Chains A and B, each alone.
Chain A
Amino acid sequence: MSIGKHIGFDEEVHPPYLDTDYKSTLLRAPTKPLLIQKESLSQTTGPLFNDYSLGALDHDLTKNSVKEGEPVGERIVVHGRVTNEKGHPIPNTLIEIWQANSAGRYVHKVDQHNAPLDPNFLGTGRCLTDKMGNYKFYTIKPGAYPWGNHHNAWRPAHIHLSLFGTAISSRLITQMYFPNDPLFPFDPIFNAVPPKGRELLISDFDLNVTEPDFALGYRFDIVLRGHKATPFENQ
């Protein structure tokens, strides 16, 4: 086994496993040093889903779960580009999306927040990047919501995003936030990210994609970790 310098994972922007302000990490963060290993075949590959056939409304959370009318709240369009650290686009990559509704309530059965569910909004969707790495989806702007981490704890509004990239080393689950949220200074999950990384989680308001008389636009570019450009072991 090679104990070499670990290349690729940017410790200056990613959060640690243990963050004492985010209390749920206390019993769930690994405590022993992670094992570094030689890169092997199955780590330089990963599920691609590039031929995954999306439902026609998967990318439109304002329409994909309507039952009796339109969801309540502020319609938004979110777009951006998925690249690696060198700016090379990651085409045809799947983005899975989930979020609270405009009242700050998740559909998830365990969410006990006393805010209304929206019968016309499930709050989940998917999209693929195009050949230049661009993606776009429509949704309702999520609300802030309270949680039990500490007294009067509120999460800033955010959208959860899950991406695969090209290898399991590029796997990412993150949260996209909205500009100028007054809750940022008080949120342990946002602040668990080192200072250099925090602004990378905040989307920009984008008038260029804002659709007249329809929806405000936000831009959120996503940078996935590229794996080392070494040949596969079995080649």
Chain B
Amino acid sequence: MIMNTKDISKRQTPSQTIGPFFAYGLTPSQYGYDFPSLVNGQMADTKEVSEHIQIKGTIYDGEGVSIEDAMIELWQDDGEQQLFGRYGTGTEDGNSFTFTTVKPKGVNGAAPYINVILFMRGQLLHSYTRIYFSDETQLNTTDEVLTSIPDDRRKTLIAKKKGTSYVFDIHMQGDNETVFFKV
């Protein structure tokens, strides 16, 4: 079929909140519903165990209370590996999330990072942030995005290495409000 090359201007479909009851639809296996999940927090091939990293964290609201009904998605693409994961914050103690993946490579001299997409009740529109890694001391100091952020806020994007895990907490508001991006 030949596409009409004239632009048909259509308005984007507006975003609406994920609401509190997404789990049986979007993360059913994790929450014990009888419907297979599309994806989960296990992003990397389980065979390459030695390269695995874990990313754990908690999402906090403006009063510092952990959020129990958020869904967090991770997307990484370093030109070699494309990995996607999704996790709901309603099943673990302390409302935390856990992902198992591999650390992406930095692209074109940038520090490696993972894209984060956040959804929750109380968000009419999802938020984007990024996970950088505390042990990338060299690249983090020259990275164009990180160096453009004031010192006191830059740390909100850097996951802290703790053993084989990285800890990445997200603060929606407050003194430690995470840097969110316009994507």
Which A residues lie at the B interface, using CB under 8 A? 1, 6, 9-10, 12-17, 19, 22, 24-32, 34-38, 40-43, 45-47, 49, 52, 55, 64-65, 83-88, 94, 96-98, 100, 106-111, 122-124, 126, 132, 158, 160, 162, 168-169, 171-175, 189-190, 192-194, 196-198, 200-201, 221-225, 233-234
Q: Which residues of A contact B108 (CB under 8 A)?
A: 233-234
Candidates A27, A49, A87, A174; contact of B61 at CB < 8 Å? A27
**Given contacts A42-B75, A107-B33, are A85 and B25 in contact (CB under 8 A)?**
no
Are B16 and A42 in contact, CB atoms less than 8 angstroms apart?
Answer: no
Query: Is the pair B14, A15 in contact by a Cβ cutoff of 8 Å?
Result: yes
Q: In the complex, what's the smallest C-beta–C-beta distance from B172 to chain A, in angstroms? A: 5
Chain B binding surface SS class: loop
Residues in chain A near residue B17, CB distance under 8 A: 22, 173, 175, 189
Bound Cα distance from A36 to B18, whole angstroms: 24
Decide yes or no whether B53 CB sits under 8 A from chain A.
no
- Bound complex: CA of A168 vs CA of B116, how far in Å? 10
B183 contacts the other chain (CB 8 A): yes
Instruction: For the complex formed, measure the closest distance between the CB of A63 and the CB atoms of chain B, giving whole angstroms.
Output: 13
A47 and B13 in contact, given A15-B125, A24-B121 (Cβ under 8 angstroms): no
User: Which interface class (under 10, 10 to 19, 20 to 34, 35 or more) fits B?
Assistant: 35 or more
Contact with A along B42-85 (1 / 0, CB 8 A): 00000000000000000001110101010001011111001010
Q: Give 1 or 0 for each of B117-138: 1 = CB within 8 Å of chain A CB.
A: 1011111111110000000000
Where chain A touches its partner, the secondary structure class is loop
Interface residues of B (CB under 8 A from A): 1, 3-4, 7-26, 28, 31, 33-36, 38-39, 61-63, 65, 67, 69, 73, 75-79, 82, 84, 90, 104, 107-108, 110, 113, 115, 117, 119-128, 144-145, 148-149, 153, 172-173, 177-183
A9–B104 Cα gap in the complex (Å)? 27
Q: Are B115 and A197 in contact (CB under 8 A)?
A: no
Distance to closest chain B CB from A22 (angstroms): 7
**Given that A85-B10, A96-B38, A97-B25 are known contacts, is A19 also in contact with B144, CB under 8 Å in the complex?**
no
Q: A29-B172, A85-B11, A110-B90 are in contact. List 13 more A-B contacts (CB 8 A).
A: A27-B61, A28-B61, A29-B173, A30-B127, A32-B179, A86-B7, A106-B24, A108-B20, A122-B24, A122-B33, A189-B17, A192-B124, A201-B14
B12 with A10: CB separation less than 8 A: yes
Residue of chain B at shortest CB distance from A107: B24
Identify which of A65, A201, A233 contacts B35 (C-beta below 8 A): A65
* Interchain CB contact under 8 A, B36 and A35: no
Contacts of B113 in A (CB 8 A): 42
Interface pair B14/A98, CB less than 8 Å apart: no
